[in-house]
Amino acid sequence: MPTCIYLESAQKHPAAVVRRQTEHDLTVLMGALGRVAEPQLQLFFLMHTFMARFAPEGLTRVVDADVAEAAGALAAGLETASRGLVYEPQAASPVGEALRRELKALITSVGRGGGSRFEREAAEVLRGIERGAKHEAPGIGDGPVEYLTLVARVLQERPPEAATRSTLILP
Q: Is residue 9 part of a domain?
A: no
Q: Is residue 168 part of a domain?
A: no
Report pLDDT for 158: 59
pLDDT beneath 70: ranges in the chain: 1-2, 10, 14, 59, 157-171
Q: Is residue 21 part of a domain?
A: no
Report pLDDT for 86: 81
Domain that holds residue 148: 37-157
Q: Is residue 8 part of a domain?
A: no
Q: Is residue 2 part of a domain?
A: no
Report pLDDT for 157: 66
Report pLDDT for 81: 81
Report pLDDT for 51: 92
DSSP percent split of the chain into helix, strand, coil, nearest 5: 65, 0, 35
Q: Spell out the long-range contacts of 151-156 with Cβ–Cβ below 8 A and sequence spacing 24 or more.
A: 151/29, 151/48, 151/51, 151/52, 152/52, 153/21, 153/22, 153/25, 154/22, 154/25, 154/26, 154/29, 154/48, 155/45, 155/48, 155/49, 155/52
pTM for this predicted structure = 0.80
Comparing C-alpha atoms, which of 165, 147, 162, 163 is closest to residue 47?
A: 147
Q: Is residue 127 part of a domain?
A: yes
Report pLDDT for 165: 42
Q: Is residue 121 part of a domain?
A: yes
Q: Is residue 139 part of a domain?
A: yes
Report pLDDT for 14: 67
Q: How many domains does the chain have?
A: 1
